[in-house]
Amino acid sequence: MKKSLVSALLLGSLFTGALYSFVPQTAFVLAEESSEMEDHDHEGEEDHDHDHEGEEEHHHHHDHDHEFEFDASKVVKKEDDMYIMAHGDHFHKIKAADLTEEQVAAADKNIEEHPELAEAYDKQKDIYAGYFDDADVKDRSLEEYAGEWQSVLPFLEDGTLDPVMDKKASAEGAKMTAEEYKEYYQVGYETDVDHINIEGDQITFVKGDEEATGTYKYEGYKILDYEKGNRGVRYLFTKTDGDEAAPMSVQFSDHNIAPSDHVEHFHIFFSNDDHEKLLEEMDNWPTYYPADWDGDEIFADQMNH
C-alpha cells in the first residue's frame, strides 16, 4: 500500500530552481549549496538554500501541492538510505524506511532500468551549482514567466520565514546568525513593487494602487563568472513601449539556464540604467512567488528546498 508523504516534513528535499528537460514530462529542479549568492549575485542566490525553478496555458501550476504519494516511476537515484524522487518542479529525498517493500523494489527496478535519470540528475546538480559550459545555456522567452506574482518580502518581514533563517544559521558551515541572515535577505528582497504581472510581451509593475506597464523585447542572456569559479545567467529584456514609469531594463534569474516550464519563483533586477550597468547589481534581488501562494506554501517551499 502506498504511503502518503507530506513534503512539508521532508526537510531533506532538494532545492528548486534549475530545470532541464532530460525526460518528457519530468522536471529536474535542483539547488546548489553555495554559489553566486556568496559572490553577492542573486543570479543564483545560491546560499539561500531553496535555491535554489506544471505548465498550462501560461506555463505555471501554482497549486504546488506539498502532499504527495510515492511514485516509483519518478525515482531518479538512490543516495545512501534515501530515494530521490521528482515531484512537480523539484525533488524530494525519501527515506527507504518510510516505504513498503513493494515500493522499494519498484524504485530499485526503475533506477536499474533507467540509468540515464541518475546521469541527468547529477549533471543538473552541477548546473544548478553554477558549473556549466557555454553550450548548456539557451535562449528563453518572457512567456516562461507569465502569470501573477507577489514579492516574498512581506513574508520575511512578518516573521513567516524566521524558521528558515534559523535553519540556515544552524546548518554546518553557516557564516551568520539567524538575525544576520534575516538582515541579509532584507537587503536582497527589498523592493517597493509588491506585485508583478506578466502576459505576452508585457510586464506590469504594481506598487500599492499604482501600476506601470511596459512592452519588452528579449535581448539575449549574459553569463556571469564569479571569483569562486562558478557562474550565473541573467536573461535580459528591454522596454520598447509603454508607461514612462515602467523600467527600461529588466533582468530575470531563476536558476535555470535553458527553457523551463516550471518557474515557481524568480529574482528580478530592473532599473532605467542600461543592461551593463544593471548587471553590476549584486546585493538587491527582489524575489517573487505566485500571487496565489500563501505564507504556509512559501514557507514550506523555502524550508524544504
Q: pLDDT tens for residues 145-192?
A: 999 999 999 999 999 999 999 999 999 999 999 999 999 999 999 999
pTM here?
0.75
Instruction: Write down the pLDDT at residue 304.
Output: 64
For the cut 50, the answer to whether the pLDDT of residue 12 exceeds it is no
Q: What is the pLDDT of residue 121?
A: 87
pLDDT value at residue 88: 61
Is the pLDDT assigned to residue 272 strictly greater than 60? yes
Distances in Å between the Cα of 218 and the Cα atoms of 201, 227, 244 are: 9, 28, 19
CB atoms within 10 A of CB 259: 15
As a whole number, mean pLDDT of residues 14-31 equals: 33
| pLDDT score, position 303 | 80
C-alpha cell at 38: 556568496
Residue 16 has pLDDT above 50, yes or no: no
28 has a pLDDT exceeding 90: no
**Quick one: pLDDT at residue 63?**
41
- At residue 300, the pLDDT reads 85
For position 305, what pLDDT does the model report?
Answer: 62
Task: Indicate the angle between helix axes 162-170 and 295-304, nearest 10 degrees.
Answer: 10
CATH class for domain 1-305? mainly beta
Burial class (CB in 10 A: 0-12, 13-18, 19+), 165: buried
217-255 burial, b if ≥16 CB within 10 A, otherwise e? Answer: eeeebbebebeeebbbbbbbbbbeebeeebbbbbbbbbb
Contact 13, 305 (CB under 8 A): yes
Share above pLDDT 90 across residues of the chain, in percent, rounded to a whole number: 66
User: Is the predicted pLDDT of residue 33 greater than 50, yes or no?
Assistant: no
Instruction: Give the list of residues 6+ apart from residue 206 with CB closer than 8 angstroms, or none.
Output: 193, 194, 195, 196, 197
Could you tell me what percent of the chain has a pLDDT over 70? 76
Which pLDDT tens digit goes with each residue over 236-264?
999 999 999 999 999 999 888 999 888 88
270 band by pLDDT with thresholds 50, 70 and 90: very high
Residue located via cell numbers 525533488 = 91
**Regarding predicted confidence, which is higher, 117 or 41?**
117
**Residue pLDDT, tens place only, 36-91:** 343 444 443 444 433 333 333 333 333 444 456 899 999 999 999 999 998 765 77
What is the overall mean pLDDT for the chain? 81
Cell 530521490 -> residue: 84
